[in-house]
Structure 1
């Protein structure tokens, strides 16, 4: 009896959510170009989930993202434009997945090698897009592993950079982050964290986990997400962390070809305004953007 009741509740919840997706889709109006490619039902569901299934709030969030994508053009970034940022392997896609099949990004703030914030953000967005593009079928989220080896106040990521990273991740890639493990951060990092955490919405904040080698509970939590045979020794595993910039660049160049094909750039390269010659940039009202303009 109880099983039947629970099953019925689950079915009703699924139907309600599907109704919300349809409602959000209708409220956006007719989409075209890249906006239409971007706004799949699965995408709309993520925005609704990020806003606790409030259609109006999800719509506002999605409209802001569409406006951001029209300006930032993340789908146009190619590896050769940001390769210099990746020379030290400060951020890169790992060659393994977590236990749930999620793409893994490894971040090593101690390997910072540039000072231009705009290009750093461009590099990060490129890798987020690449991580999403390489997600297995049926998987929507990625995991982050943050290694603090070599981190110090001298090479610390500026607060402005951290704030922009959080803004982009939680406002324009909602429900894409499953978990972020901060592995063995030094004590001095706590002062930086006290500032940065206020930029996070509650949902993003709950996904950030601190792991200390001497804290058994935090180590066990991390092992519940990762096979120790895959984890590099820098994260308490047994694998060797070996970032080869040339090999990684070759992989990214291959992925760039696939990405171009997905967005249709292989047939119609983007023009000066970021759109192909045959693709008309949607007017603000076409994507239901407002008159003026939580992961």
Structure 2
């Protein structure tokens, strides 16, 4: 009796969500080019989820993202443009997945090697896009592992950089982050954290987990996300973490070919906006 009721409620919830997706799609008007390609049903669901299934708010958020993508052109960034940023392995895609099959990005803020914010964000966006592109079928989220080895107040990420990272992640890639695991942050980081956490919306904030090696709950949390045989020793596992810039560059170059084919930029010459088949304005104007 109760099972039937729960099953019915689940079905009703699914129908309501599908209705919201259709409503959001209709409200966007006709899309073209890469905007149409970007706005899959799964994409619309993520934006609706990020705005608690409020269609008007989700529409506003999504239109801002489409404008951002038109300007930033994340799908056109190629590894050779950002390779210098990656020389130290400060951010890279891990060679393992978490227990749910999610792509894992490893971030090592203590390995910062440049000062130009624009290039740093371009590098990060490239790797976010690459992580998403490499998600297995049926999985839409990634996990971040943040290693604080070598981090100090002298090489600390500026607040402006942290704020822009948070802005890009939560406003333009909603519901793409499953968890950000901050491994063994030093006490000095607490001051920095007290500032940057105010830039986070509640959904993003809840996904940030502080992990400490000698804490039993932290160890259990890591085991719930990762197989210790895959996890590098830097994060309490038994595997060896080694970033080979040349090998990683070869992998990214191969992925660039696949991404270009997916987005169609291998077939279409750049138009006036340098965007191939990307039209100048791809959101229908307000009536």
Please tell me the TM-score bracket, short chain as reference. over 0.9
| SS of aligned partner of 2:175 | coil
Is the contact between residue 65 and residue 171 of structure 1 (CA under 8 Å) also seen in structure 2? yes
Query: Is the aligned partner of 1:48 residue 2:48?
Result: yes
Alignment partners' CA distance in 2, 1:162 and 1:109: 11
Structure 1 counterpart of 2:281, from 254, 267, 278: 278
Task: Evaluate the alpha carbon distance shift between residue 278 and residue 8 of structure 1 in structure 2; reply closer, same or farther with a 3 A threshold.
Answer: closer
Query: What's the RMSD between the two structures over aligned residues?
Result: 2.1
Is the contact between residue 96 and residue 104 of structure 1 (CA under 8 Å) also seen in structure 2? yes
CA positional deviation for 1:265: 1.0
Task: Evaluate the alpha carbon distance shift between residue 186 and residue 50 of structure 1 in structure 2; reply closer, same or farther with a 3 A threshold.
Answer: same
| Structure 2 gap ranges (5+) | none
Alignment partners' CA distance in 1, 2:145 and 2:31: 36
Is the contact between residue 108 and residue 149 of structure 2 (CA under 8 Å) also seen in structure 1? yes
**Segments of 4+ moved more than 2 angstroms:** 269-284
Is the contact between residue 105 and residue 131 of structure 2 (CA under 8 Å) also seen in structure 1? yes
Task: Evaluate the alpha carbon distance shift between residue 199 and residue 147 of structure 1 in structure 2; reply closer, same or farther with a 3 A threshold.
Answer: same
Is the contact between residue 33 and residue 281 of structure 1 (CA under 8 Å) also seen in structure 2? no
Is the contact between residue 89 and residue 111 of structure 1 (CA under 8 Å) also seen in structure 2? yes
Query: Is the aligned partner of 1:239 residue 2:239?
Result: yes
Deviations 1:45-65 (A, max 9, x none): 000000000000000000000
Task: Evaluate the alpha carbon distance shift between residue 20 and residue 279 of structure 1 in structure 2; reply closer, same or farther with a 3 A threshold.
Answer: closer
The normalised TM-score by structure 1 is 0.93
The normalised TM-score by structure 2 is 0.95
| SS of aligned partner of 2:257 | helix
Alignment partners' CA distance in 2, 1:283 and 1:267: 32
Q: Find the counterpart in structure 2 of residue 223 from structure 1.
A: 223
Is the contact between residue 98 and residue 226 of structure 1 (CA under 8 Å) also seen in structure 2? yes
CA positional deviation for 1:268: 1.1
Task: Evaluate the alpha carbon distance shift between residue 278 and residue 220 of structure 1 in structure 2; reply closer, same or farther with a 3 A threshold.
Answer: closer
Task: Evaluate the alpha carbon distance shift between residue 220 and residue 30 of structure 1 in structure 2; reply closer, same or farther with a 3 A threshold.
Answer: same
Aligned length: 284
